[in-house]
C-alpha cells in the first residue's frame, strides 16, 4: 500500500508516492517539517518518521520504507521551511538528505521575540491558536512497525499548526518591527555547523576539561578522539565505548600497560574487547608525546574573566530590558554573551547588529564608566549618564 490514510494526513511508504510529494513541495512557497528519531543507543540519530505539512496537505514519510534524501530537491527549490526547536531536526535532516533548506523559520526561536521564553510546541499552539495538542506518544518507540493510529495522529499534530503559527508570529513580528531580527537569528541557526563532532575537539565536552593541566590535556585530547572515532565506526554512544570518568582518570594517571589500564577508575573491561585495549594505550602514548602546537584548545578558554559585579550589573539590566521589550532574555543576551563582550577586545553577539544597537552600545558605556546603573525609585533600573559625583 503506497498511501495509508490516517486520522491526520497520509503515510507515504513507496518511492512513487514520495516522488509525488517532493514534486508538490518543490512548487510551494512554504511548508512545515518535523522529525521523529532515536539516538539513545546509537552514535548517529536513527530517523523514524518525517512529518510535512503545506497549505493543502499533510503527509508522514516512513524512512524505513522510502529514501527521504529526495527531499533535498524540495529544499533546493527555495521555500521557507518552518520548524519548531529546529536544532536537532536540522542535524537529522542534514544527515538524511545531504543538504538543508535555504531558509527556515523556527517558531520557538521567533516566538522569543514576541515575549515567549523557549515555549514548547503544545504551549505555543494552545496560547496562540487555542488548540490543545494530543499528548502521550512522545516517548513511544518510533522504530517499531506498524505505527499505530495514535502514534500517527500525534506525529501529525507536530506539523499540523506550523503554518498557522508562522503566519501569526510573523504578523506580530512585523507589528513590533522585529522581523529582520528574527530572520537573522534563524539564519544563524541554519548556518550553524550541524556536522558530527571533530574527534580532536571531543575532549572539550568532558565535564572537567577546564581543570586539566599540563600533559593531561594532550592525553585527554587523544583518548577522547579515539573514543569518538570508535563510537562513529561502531555507531554507538560514546559512553558505551568509554565513560567520561574513565577518560578523566586516564588523563590524570595514564597507564603504561593493560593491567594498569584495567585498574583505572571508570574503565569497564567489557568495553575493551578485541583490539580496544591496545588502541587505547596507543592513544595514551600519543597524548603523552603531543606537542603544544598539536593541542587543540577550545576558544572559550581564552577570554579573561570580567569581575563579578560587572557581570551581575549587566545581567540585571539585560533582564529588565528583556521584560520591557517582551523578548526572551536568552535571545537578548546570555551570560556567555556578556563575558565575551566585556573583554579587552569585545567579541560575540553584542558587538554588532541589532543587539549592539539595542544593548551592546549602552553596556559599552557602562563598562567604560561613562554610564551608571541606578534604581528608578519604583523598583526598576535605569541606565543614565554618569555624574562623576560620588556620594561617599
| CATH for 162 | 3.30.420.10
Kind of pairing between the strands at 80-83 and 103-106: parallel
CB atoms within 10 A of CB 167: 11
Chosen domain end from 191, 223, 243 = 191
Three cell numbers written together for 74: 524540495
Q: Is residue 390 part of a domain?
A: no
Q: Is residue 90 part of a domain?
A: yes
- Spell out where the chain has E strands: 3-5, 10-12, 30-38, 46-54, 57-61, 80-83, 103-106, 371-375, 381-385
Same domain (yes/no): 69, 145: yes
Same domain (yes/no): 41, 60: yes
Chosen domain end from 158, 191, 224 = 191
Predicted pLDDT at 135: 76
Distance CA 278, CA 187 (A): 45
Q: Which has the closest alpha carbon to 262: 114, 85, 273, 18?
A: 273
Predicted pLDDT at 302: 47
Q: Cβ contacts of residue 246 below 8 Å, gap of 6+?
A: 264, 265, 266, 267, 268
Distance CA 328, CA 108 (A): 11
Contact call for residues 36 and 48 (beta carbons, < 8 A):
yes
Contact call for residues 12 and 22 (beta carbons, < 8 A):
no
Residue 338 to residues 181, 213, 309, 318: CA-CA distances in angstroms?
19, 26, 12, 10
Kind of pairing between the strands at 57-61 and 80-83: unpaired
Residue 342: CA count within 13 A, CB half-sphere: 27
Q: How many structural domains comprise the chain?
A: 3
Q: Is residue 392 part of a domain?
A: no
Distance CA 268, CA 283 (A): 17
Distance CA 277, CA 230 (A): 12
Burial of 11: CB neighbours in 10 Å, binned 0-12, 13-18, 19+: buried
Q: Which helix (H) or strand (E) holds 322?
A: helix 308-325
The domain of 228 spans: 199-298
Same domain (yes/no): 184, 207: no
Same domain (yes/no): 17, 123: yes
Q: Is residue 19 part of a domain?
A: yes
- Dihedral of CA atoms 204, 208, 211, 212 in degrees, nearest 10, equals -60
Q: Which has the closest alpha carbon to 309: 338, 274, 332?
A: 338
Contact call for residues 333 and 349 (beta carbons, < 8 A):
yes
Same domain (yes/no): 179, 51: yes
The Cα angle at residue 346 between residues 313 and 349, in degrees rounded to 5: 80
Distance CA 10, CA 4 (A): 6
The pTM of the full predicted model, rounded to 2 decimals, is 0.90
pLDDT by 10s per residue, the chain, length 392: 345 554 478 999 999 999 999 999 999 999 999 999 999 999 999 999 999 999 999 999 999 999 999 999 999 999 999 999 999 999 999 999 999 999 999 999 999 999 999 999 999 999 999 999 987 666 799 999 999 999 999 999 999 999 999 999 999 999 999 999 999 999 999 999 877 789 999 999 999 898 899 999 999 999 999 999 999 999 999 999 999 999 999 999 999 999 999 999 999 998 898 999 999 999 999 999 999 999 998 865 544 566 788 899 999 999 999 999 999 999 999 999 999 999 889 999 999 999 999 999 999 999 898 998 888 888 888 888 988 887 77
Amino acid at each position: 500500500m503506497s498511501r495509508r490514510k490516517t486520522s491526520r494526513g497520509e503515510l507515504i511508504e513507496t518511492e512513487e508516492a514520495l516522488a509525488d510529494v517532493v514534486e508538490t513541495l518543490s512548487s510551494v512557497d512554504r511548508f512545515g517539517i518535523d522529525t521523529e528519531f532515536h539516538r539513545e543507543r546509537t552514535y548517529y540519530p536513527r530517523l523514524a518518521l518525517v512529518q510535512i505539512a503545506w497549505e493543502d496537505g499533510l503527509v508522514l514519510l516512513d524512512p524505513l520504507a522510502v529514501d527521504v534524501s529526495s527531499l533535498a530537491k524540495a529544499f533546493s527549490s527555495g521555500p521557507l521551511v518552518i520548524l519548531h526547536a529546529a536544532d536537532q531536526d536540522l542535524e537529522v535532516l542534514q544527515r538524511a538528505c545531504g543538504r538543508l533548506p535555504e531558509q527556515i523559520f523556527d517558531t520557538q526561536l521567533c516566538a522569543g521575540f514576541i515575549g515567549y521564553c523557549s515555549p514548547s510546541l503544545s504551549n505555543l499552539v494552545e496560547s496562540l491558536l487555542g488548540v490543545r495538542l494530543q499528548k502521550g506518544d512522545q516517548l513511544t518507540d518510533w522504530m517499531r512497525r506498524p505505527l499505530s493510529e495514535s502514534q500517527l495522529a500525534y506525529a501529525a499534530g507536530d506539523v499540523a499548526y506550523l503554518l498557522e503559527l508562522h503566519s501569526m508570529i510573523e504578523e506580530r513580528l512585523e507589528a513590533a518591527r522585529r522581523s529582520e531580527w528574527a530572520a537573522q537569528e534563524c539564519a544563524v541557526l541554519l548556518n550553524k555547523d550541524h556536522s558530527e563532532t571533530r574527534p580532536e575537539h571531543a575532549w572539550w565536552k568532558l565535564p572537567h576539561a577546564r581543570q586539566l593541566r599540563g600533559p593531561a590535556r594532550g592525553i585527554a585530547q587523544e583518548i577522547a578522539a579515539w573514543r569518538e572515532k570508535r563510537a562513529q565506526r561502531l555507531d554507538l554512544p560514546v559512553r558505551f565505548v568509554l565513560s567520561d570518568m574513565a577518560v578523566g582518570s586516564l588523563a590524570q594517571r595514564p597507564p603504561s600497560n593493560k593491567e594498569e589500564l584495567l585498574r583505572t577508575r571508570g574503565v569497564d573491561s567489557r568495553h575493551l574487547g578485541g583490539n580496544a585495549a591496545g588502541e587505547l594505550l596507543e592513544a595514551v602514548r600519543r597524548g603523552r608525546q603531543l606537542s603544544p602546537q598539536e593541542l587543540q584548545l577550545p576558544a572559550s578558554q581564552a577570554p579573561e574573566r570580567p569581575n563579578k559585579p560587572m557581570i551581575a550589573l549587566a545581567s540585571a539590566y539585560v533582564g529588565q530590558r528583556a521584560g520591557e521589550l517582551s523578548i526572551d532574555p536568552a535571545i537578548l543576551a546570555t551570560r556567555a554573551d556578556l563575558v565575551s563582550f566585556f573583554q579587552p577586545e569585545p567579541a560575540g553577539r553584542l558587538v554588532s547588529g541589532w543587539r549592539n544597537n539595542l544593548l551592546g552600545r549602552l553596556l559599552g558605556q557602562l563598562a567604560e564608566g561613562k554610564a551608571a546603573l541606578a534604581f528608578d525609585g519604583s523598583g526598576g533600573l535605569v541606565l543614565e549618564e554618569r555624574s562623576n559625583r560620588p556620594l561617599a
